[in-house]
Amino acid sequence: MSQHEPHTTENLTESSAPPVSRRGFAKYLGIGAVVAAAAAVIAFFRGRDQAYPVTTIGQIDEIPVGGSKVFAYPQNDRPCFLLRPAEDRYIAFSRLCTHHGCPTFFQPQENVFNCPCHGGVFSAQDGRVLAGPPPKPLPQLILETRGNAIVALGFVKSA
Ligand code: FES
């Protein structure tokens, strides 16, 4: 074909889309599978900081529905609350106020955590600040049940 010859549809197809061999296509599929697997792993661990220990913090049925207990996580000087708001539901929060670190107290009648130091109040549903000077919610733990054990995996990353 000369330089002045008009392009035909056939010519454009051949020049703009190089043929992909079966081997090349399989290679693209393989790369796609690896990328998809990596995305799944990232999604699985999203929200969990690998620096925190995996620790058993309680046992199923150890506390009654509506009850609570204090435990330490991730170190002995870091008290937390484990709550059982429903038969099959457990949630846990750091007990330490996000204002100046005073220990909070669970008030089951109002379903809140009260901080006696400066009047901070946190929701026991999700740890959000309801009143007072605390700048951030109470950190919530990531929990998992393994058999009869309730296991802490770290803290939910705040947005
Ligand atoms: S330390 Fe809790 S409100 Fe100030």
- CATH code for the domain of 85: 2.102.10.10
Ligand 1: distance of its center to the CA of 132 in Å?
A: 8
**In which band, very low, low, confident or very high, does the pLDDT at 89 lie, cut at 50, 70 and 90?**
very high
142 Cβ below 6 A of ligand 1: no
Verify that 59 and 40 share a domain, yes or no.
no
**In which band, very low, low, confident or very high, does the pLDDT at 28 lie, cut at 50, 70 and 90?**
low
Tally of structural domains, the chain: 2
Verify that 118 and 138 share a domain, yes or no.
yes
Is the residue at 1 inside a domain? no
Verify that 60 and 115 share a domain, yes or no.
yes
Distance of CA 45 to the CA centre of its chain: 7
Verify that 22 and 81 share a domain, yes or no.
no
120 Cβ below 6 A of ligand 1: yes
Ligand 1: distance of its center to the CA of 24 in Å?
A: 62
Is the residue at 50 inside a domain? no
Residue 28 domain boundaries: 9-45
Is the residue at 16 inside a domain? yes
* pLDDT above 90 for 91: yes
Is the residue at 132 inside a domain? yes
Is the residue at 4 inside a domain? no
Segment 76-98 shows an average pLDDT of 97
* Segment among 18-22, 43-47, 82-86, 111-115 with least mean pLDDT: 43-47
Verify that 20 and 65 share a domain, yes or no.
no
User: In this structure, which residue's CA is closest to atom 1 in ligand 1?
Assistant: 100
* pLDDT above 90 for 78: yes
Ligand 1: distance of its center to the CA of 121 in Å?
A: 9
Is the residue at 36 inside a domain? yes
pLDDT computed for residue 34 by the predictor: 53
* Segment among 44-48, 76-80, 96-100 with least mean pLDDT: 44-48
* pLDDT above 90 for 2: no
Is the residue at 128 inside a domain? yes
138 Cβ below 6 A of ligand 1: no
* Segment among 54-63, 93-102, 150-159 with least mean pLDDT: 150-159
Torsion of CA 35, 40, 43, 44, to 10 degrees: -140
118 Cβ below 6 A of ligand 1: yes
Return contacts of 79-86, CB within 8 angstroms, 24+ apart.
79/103, 80/141, 80/152, 81/106, 81/113, 81/124, 82/57, 82/58, 82/150, 83/124, 85/111, 85/124, 85/125
Is the residue at 89 inside a domain? yes
**In which band, very low, low, confident or very high, does the pLDDT at 158 lie, cut at 50, 70 and 90?**
confident
Ligand 1: distance of its center to the CA of 138 in Å?
A: 11
